[in-house]
Amino acid sequence: MSTTLPASPLSTKADLPPLGVYVHWPFCAAICPYCDFNVHLMHKAKGSPADWLSAYRQELAYAQGLRPQGPVETVFFGGGTPSLMSPDLVAGILSAMDEMWGLAPDAEITLEANPMSAPEPHLKALRAAGVTRLSLGVQAFDDTALKFLGRTHSSQDARVAFEAAQRIFPRASFDLIYARPNQTPDAWARELSAALELAPQHMSLYQLTIEPDTLFYKHQAAGKLTLPDEDAAADMYEITQSLCTRAGLPAYEISNHAAQGHACRHNVASWQGGDYLGIGPGAHGRVSSLEKAARLSSVAHRSPTQWLAQVEKDGHGWAEEQVLDGESVEMEAVLLGLRLVEGVGLEALADRGVHLEPARVTSLREAGLLSSDTTRLQASPAGRLILDHLIGRLLA
Ligand SMILES: C[S@@+](CC[C@H](N)C(=O)[O-])C[C@H]1O[C@@H](n2cnc3c(N)ncnc32)[C@H](O)[C@@H]1O
Ligand code: SF4
């Protein structure tokens, strides 16, 4: 692999990718035993809604100094549980973005929700605040599994919330976690079939991963939790692909399935190496700055209290802000681009200064792990099954 410095030649506005903004809301009503996101208990949150709005606004203004060119095409309120935010706070953040960059008239504005904080009037107020796409954390349509996952809602609660979301928002999606302990491929096929009866246009289907520093990790280490073996997990992955494809929701990314035209624009843009500002505690950002003629990465302080204090002091809560070098840009372009089923165009990669070693690409094509399309870097179905191995061989 060759490296090029600077990472991407940025000189005019035309060189800039469209702009997205990720806003992290770090609070949840309860912490799930599998989750290692930057999450904190809501009842211990410090700061009033006005303090939070002021801090988000200040960080947005700081980021605007680095990338003033708009408009904002996509916004993603992720968490944590952003459905615990007040609609006024959501509206205030969106109006700050509109003042600073302009929000595109067809902007996609996603908000992640938990069924326990998604009663219909609240969803309507979030829609009125500007949210266009709701992503609901369902996790399982099986009450025993929900209890095991530490969830405080039933599958019926999730169904009611999703049906309301389908009525209220132009777009709605839900998340499920499969390959859970004791789950058989047949049981997953039944559960996924029942989920598909809700006629979703988008679903995120994740295999359960056991993350360090979670309660499940401790349980696994103590021998109290065993995941399905590799064969069973591979069967569940195949079932997922075939049931979803048959229902008209093929995968467009490793864990994401959508009907034609319903992929999440924000996430697709970030997997394609687009620009997104990371706002809020623990948020990561990637943004091209004409002012600095470079692509920058940012990481904010994870602790909500520390983030609030730093924003008050410095006008932003970023703990790191770095110029990405050519090697990092290449590594990310490959890691993220290969997650997408359509892969990423080699010409688009070259425009960003990424030139992969032709011999290595050819040998992976010959091994059937990359598709034979010579204009793209695209994993084949066999390559997607062993993506980490494929990426290792490309970047070794
Ligand atoms: C921010 S949460 C979604 C919204 C909301 N917080 C909720 O849980 O209802 C993002 C999603 O990541 C997935 N997730 C988190 N930890 C996971 C893990 N260890 N294995 C698989 N999926 C996981 C869950 O499906 C979860 O819905
Ligand atoms: S899965 Fe969702 S609700 Fe559970 S801890 Fe993670 S972010 Fe919070």
User: Is ligand 2 within 6 A of the CB of residue 28?
Assistant: yes
What proportion of the chain, given as a percentage, has pLDDT over 90?
A: 83
Q: Give the ligand 2 atom nearest the CA of 28.
A: 8
Distance between Cα 243 and ligand 2 center (Å): 27
Q: Whose CA is nearest to atom 6 of ligand 2?
A: 35
What is the 33 CA–ligand 1 centroid distance (Å)?
A: 11
Q: If you take atom 3 of ligand 2, which residue's CA is the nearest one?
A: 28
pLDDT at residue number 3: 33
When mean pLDDT is compared across 33-37, 91-95, 144-148, 358-362, the lowest value belongs to 358-362
**Secondary structure of the chain in HEC code, one letter for each residue:** CCCCCCCCCCCCHHHCCCEEEEEEECEECCCCCCCCCCCEEHHHCCCCHHHHHHHHHHHHHHHHHHCCCCCEEEEEEEECCHHHCCHHHHHHHHHHHHHHCCEEEEEEEEEEECHHHCCHHHHHHHHHHCCCEEEEEEECCCHHHHHHCCCCCCHHHHHHHHHHHHHHCCEEEEEEEECCCCCCHHHHHHHHHHHHCCCCCEEEEEECCCCCCCHHHHHHHCCCCCCCCHHHHHHHHHHHHHHHHHCCCCEEECCEEECCCCCCHHHHHHHCCCEEEEECCCCEEEEEECCCCEEEEEEECCCHHHHHHHHHHHCCCEEEEEECCHHHHHHHHHHHHCCECCCEEHHHHHHCCCCCCHHHHHHHHHCCCECCCCCEECECHHHHHCHHHHHHHHHC
Q: Which pTM value belongs to this model?
A: 0.95
The Å distance, Cα 215 to ligand 1 centre, comes to 15
- Residue boundaries of the structural domains of the chain: 13-269, 344-396
Whether 387 lines ligand 2, by a CB cut-off of 6 Å, is: no
**pLDDT tier at 5, thresholds 50, 70, 90:** very low
Q: What lines the ligand 1 site, CB under 6 Å?
A: 28, 34-35, 37, 78-79, 81, 112, 114, 137, 139, 175, 177, 206, 208-209, 211
Q: Topology of 13-269 in CATH? A: TIM Barrel (3.20.20)
pLDDT in tens, 347-382: 888 877 788 888 999 999 999 999 999 999 999 988
The pLDDT assigned to 259 comes to 98
